[in-house]
């Protein structure tokens, strides 16, 4: 990013000499004015005259995202290879086949990453509503095809979660997560630009979309884990859009009501919750116990790579949802914490991009991917460490997830793509409450930002920032 020479943004560093010149006036009116100013600001940042995304100057993307993502995926492959004798009964041929398959998925993931890193962001924004609708339909079709006994739908225990496409399977919920990120970013940035983010209609529309998505995922596909991840994406993007906490409370209320309804409809979820309260469902009980035995027996430095015993049939889902327990068993506390640090590094690396993006759409896309990725990591590891009930969610990139891996890589590819358009300077926070700031013009305040932006728009010149 050094190639850009001067800072992209310049602004008047004058301290807020005008601070308080509206003090004593009608508070609501002042707030309203600032909200409008914020909306104008967002609108200005969002699109240019031709209705295209304002991207600003393009620079070198953040390759660390790619490096960390591939490192995590490669680490996952190593772990899976190390336990493959336990998974496939020591059958050399099966092990080779499975490892080739996983290698191909990693290549597919890298390919998706590269495609997304080069895809025009305008294209994504333009098509995201359609893509989202298609994704919803694909998800909706799955249980219907399952009921109709069409062989393409893979169902187990009354839940249809996979499309079987012969050579490989696709989990449409993963497509939905990616499309939700893109769609919600577009929707929320448009509402912001229209100054209607905190209007009732926003909440009603978001709630409807969210409820429909969750109803399909949790209600029809009975996939609690994906439901949580999806909800996390919605919530995270809403929070990062700067919607008022009052509105957020409504969303949380709706989600709580939905969860209660789900629990009533599908009693096995009650069992899940009861399991966590140390009573019930023998399968979940067994699963969590085996995970804890795996982690606990690993100790400080672990049994050593390839020395996992839990992988030999003791721990269910060793290669997917439970891979963290295997890592804890073989590499110990040191290995598990190192992995967590790498995850945190990647997540914060991506999340931090939001501070350097003025375009609200790009910001919300990054926030969505971060919410998606981080919720997977947290839900998976917290379930494995017995902090929350088991939900059946993969550890992104590391788990042998097939589609999950490909789509997560695609999401990271989009962030990588966006990382080309960051500014050098930290930009004002996207918190609408900040617009209420009385405190003058510093670069993190909307006023300062507005002034800066106005200045920039008027003069278009370059002036070194003095702080």
Question: Least distance (Å) from other proteins to the CB of residue 337?
Answer: 6
Q: Is 159 helix (H, G, I), strand (E, B) or coil?
A: strand
Q: Does 328 interact with other proteins (rule: CB under 8 A)?
A: yes
| Region from 152-160, 232-240, 264-272, 399-407 binding other proteins, contact rule CB under 8 A | 232-240
295-298-300 Cα angle (round to 5) = 110
Q: Smallest Cα–Cα separation from 376: which of 349, 410, 401?
A: 401
| CB-CB neighbours of 43 under 10 Å | 16
Whose Cβ is closer to other proteins: residue 65's or residue 378's? 378
- How many residues contact other proteins, by CB under 8 A? 56
Whose Cβ is closer to other proteins: residue 4's or residue 26's? 26
Question: Least distance (Å) from other proteins to the CB of residue 59?
Answer: 22
| Region from 56-64, 73-81, 164-172, 431-439 binding other proteins, contact rule CB under 8 A | 431-439
Plot region of 437 (φ>0 → left; ψ -120 to 50 → alpha; else → beta): beta
Can you tell me the distance from the alpha carbon of 54 to that of 44, in angstroms, rounded to the nearest whole number? 9
Q: Does 382 interact with other proteins (rule: CB under 8 A)?
A: yes
Binding residue for other proteins, selected from 88, 127, 252, 333, defined by CB under 8 A: 333
Question: Least distance (Å) from other proteins to the CB of residue 364?
Answer: 12
Binding residue for other proteins, selected from 1, 4, 12, 20, defined by CB under 8 A: 20
The three-state DSSP-derived secondary structure of 411-437 is: HHHHHHHHHHHCCCCCCCCCCHHHHHC
284: CB partners within 8 A, 6+ apart: 271, 272, 275, 389, 390
Binding residue for other proteins, selected from 65, 69, 210, 347, defined by CB under 8 A: 347
Q: Does 157 interact with other proteins (rule: CB under 8 A)?
A: no
Whose Cβ is closer to other proteins: residue 136's or residue 428's? 428
Binding residue for other proteins, selected from 111, 244, 338, 385, defined by CB under 8 A: 385
DSSP 374-407: HHHHHHHHHHHTTSS-------TTTS--THHHHH
Q: Smallest Cα–Cα separation from 15: which of 451, 463, 453?
A: 451
Binding residue for other proteins, selected from 207, 275, 322, 354, defined by CB under 8 A: 354
| Region from 55-63, 110-118, 407-415, 433-441 binding other proteins, contact rule CB under 8 A | 433-441
Q: Does 296 interact with other proteins (rule: CB under 8 A)?
A: yes
Can you tell me the distance from the alpha carbon of 377 to that of 371, in angstroms, rounded to the nearest whole number? 10
Plot region of 15 (φ>0 → left; ψ -120 to 50 → alpha; else → beta): beta
- Helix (H) or strand (E) run with residue 367 in it: helix 360-384
Question: Least distance (Å) from other proteins to the CB of residue 430?
Answer: 7
Can you tell me the distance from the alpha carbon of 304 to that of 204, in angstroms, rounded to the nearest whole number? 53
| Region from 2-10, 163-171, 254-262, 298-306 binding other proteins, contact rule CB under 8 A | 298-306
Question: Interface with other proteins by CB under 8 A: which residues?
Answer: 19-20, 22-23, 27, 30, 86, 236, 239-240, 242, 292-300, 307-310, 312-314, 328, 332-333, 336-337, 340, 344, 347-348, 351, 354-355, 374, 378, 381-382, 385-387, 429-431, 433-434, 436-439, 444
């Amino acid at each position: 990013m050094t190639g850009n020479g001067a800072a992209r943004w310049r602004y008047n560093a004058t301290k807020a000499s005008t601070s308080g010149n509206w003090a004593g006036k009608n508070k609501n009116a002042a707030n309203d004015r600032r909200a409008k100013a914020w909306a104008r600001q967002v609108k200005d940042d969002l699109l240019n005259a031709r209705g295209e995304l304002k991207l600003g100057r393009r620079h070198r993307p953040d390759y660390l995202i790619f490096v960390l993502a591939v490192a995590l995926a490669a680490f996952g492959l190593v772990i899976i290879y190390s336990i493959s004798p336990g998974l496939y009964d020591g059958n050399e041929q099966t092990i080779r086949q499975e490892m080739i398959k996983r290698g191909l998925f990693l290549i597919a993931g890298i390919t998706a990453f590269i495609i997304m890193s080069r895809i025009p962001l305008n294209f994504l924004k333009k098509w995201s509503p359609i893509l989202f609708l298609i994704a919803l339909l694909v998800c909706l079709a799955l249980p219907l095809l399952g009921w109709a006994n069409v062989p393409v739908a893979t169902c187990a225990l009354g839940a249809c979660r996979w499309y079987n496409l012969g050579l490989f399977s696709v989990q449409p919920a993963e497509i939905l997560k990616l499309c939700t990120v893109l769609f919600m970013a577009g929707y929320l940035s448009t509402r912001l630009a229209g100054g209607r983010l905190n209007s009732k209609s926003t909440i009603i529309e978001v709630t409807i979309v969210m409820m429909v998505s969750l109803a399909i995922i949790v209600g029809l596909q009975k996939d609690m884990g994906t439901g949580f991840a999806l909800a996390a994406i919605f919530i995270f993007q809403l929070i990062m859009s700067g919607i008022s906490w009052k509105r957020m409370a409504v969303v949380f209320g709706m989600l709580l009501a939905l969860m209660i309804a789900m629990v009533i409809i599908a009693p096995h979820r009650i069992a899940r919750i009861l399991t966590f309260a140390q009573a019930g469902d023998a399968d979940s009980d067994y699963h969590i116990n085996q995970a804890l035995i795996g982690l606990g027996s690993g100790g400080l430095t672990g049994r050593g790579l390839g020395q996992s015993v839990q992988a030999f049939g003791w721990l269910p889902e060793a290669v997917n949802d439970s891979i963290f327990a295997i890592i804890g068993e073989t590499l110990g506390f040191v290995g598990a914490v190192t992995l967590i640090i790498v995850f945190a590094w990647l997540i914060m690396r991506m999340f931090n991009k939001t501070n350097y993006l003025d375009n609200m759409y790009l910001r919300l896309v990054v926030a969505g991917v971060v919410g998606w990725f981080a919720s997977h990591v947290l839900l998976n590891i917290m379930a494995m460490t017995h902090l929350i009930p088991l939900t059946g969610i993969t550890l992104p990139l590391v788990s042998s997830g097939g589609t999950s891996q490909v789509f997560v890589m695609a999401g990271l590819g989009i962030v990588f793509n966006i990382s080309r358009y960051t500014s050098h300077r930290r930009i004002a926070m996207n918190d609408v409450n900040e617009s209420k700031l009385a405190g003058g013009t510093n670069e993190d305040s909307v006023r300062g930002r507005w002034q800066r932006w106005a200045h920039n728009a008027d003069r278009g010149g370059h002036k070194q920032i003095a702080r």
